[in-house]
């Protein structure tokens, strides 16, 4: 699953996402370990809201606006 973040974004979350975008290799893996799991609530007008919890992974694209960068979400088990 891939996620994007659109403004407004909490300042603390923005700082964590920025660290994740700027890091590569082992530094990126360490940044992932420092970030708590993130919880998304998906609303569907025809069904109950669904909660998805997972860990963000470093993005493939590292430049551009935050809204244009896709993060992979590794689902929590």
In angstroms, the CA 35 to CA 12 distance is 11
The candidate with the shortest Cα–Cα distance to 18, out of 64, 74, 72, 76, is: 64
% pLDDT > 90, the chain? 9
Q: What is the pLDDT of residues 28-50, one digit of tens each?
A: 888 888 888 889 888 888 888 98
- pTM of the predicted structure, to 2 decimals: 0.73
More confident residue, 24 or 54: 54
What pLDDT shows up at residue 11? 92
24, pLDDT greater than 90: no
Phi and psi angles of residue 66, each rounded to the nearest 5 degrees, phi first? -55, -40
In angstroms, the CA 6 to CA 69 distance is 10
31 three-class SS: helix
The residue extents of the domains of the chain are: 2-75
What pLDDT shows up at residue 34? 84
């Amino acid at each position: 699953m891939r996620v994007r973040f659109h403004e407004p974004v909490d300042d603390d979350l923005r700082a964590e996402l920025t660290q994740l975008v700027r890091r590569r290799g082992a530094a990126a893996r360490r940044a992932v370990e420092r970030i708590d799991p993130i919880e998304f609530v998906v609303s569907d007008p025809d069904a109950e809201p669904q909660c998805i919890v997972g860990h963000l992974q470093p993005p493939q694209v590292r430049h551009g606006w935050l809204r244009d960068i896709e993060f992979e979400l590794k689902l929590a088990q």
